[in-house]
Amino acid sequence: MERQGEGFRVILEIMDEREQNIDAIHERDLDKLLKQEGLLDAFQKGEIFCKFCKTKITRENIYSILPESGAFNFICQKSECVGNLLEHIDNKTL
């Protein structure tokens, strides 16, 4: 098995406007989170898509998970999407 999930991050909470609480998460935690939220099945079937570019999210390209309004948004590693994510967080926390 290749080492995967390096650089993968999950945003656990949005704190105050300046502080982005971005915590690193291990691949094991990803499974736990997906299982906990009942998303593991959909993830394994390839039914999870990037919030911004709608690319299928895999273990290889996942960058972050953003909890929002009781749901989870997934973000891929494209620099464009990471940029969008940071902008999105900025907007939300204004």
Which residues of this chain interact with Zn ion, rule CB under 5 A?
Answer: 50, 52-53, 55, 76, 78, 81
Distance CA 45, CA 17 (A): 36
- Distance of closest approach, residue 49 Cβ to Zn ion, in angstroms: 8
Specify the residue, 34 or 48, whose C-beta has the smaller distance to Zn ion: 48
Specify the residue, 33 or 62, whose C-beta has the smaller distance to Zn ion: 62
- Distance of closest approach, residue 75 Cβ to Zn ion, in angstroms: 6
**75, containing H or E segment:** strand 71-76
Distance CA 50, CA 70 (A): 17
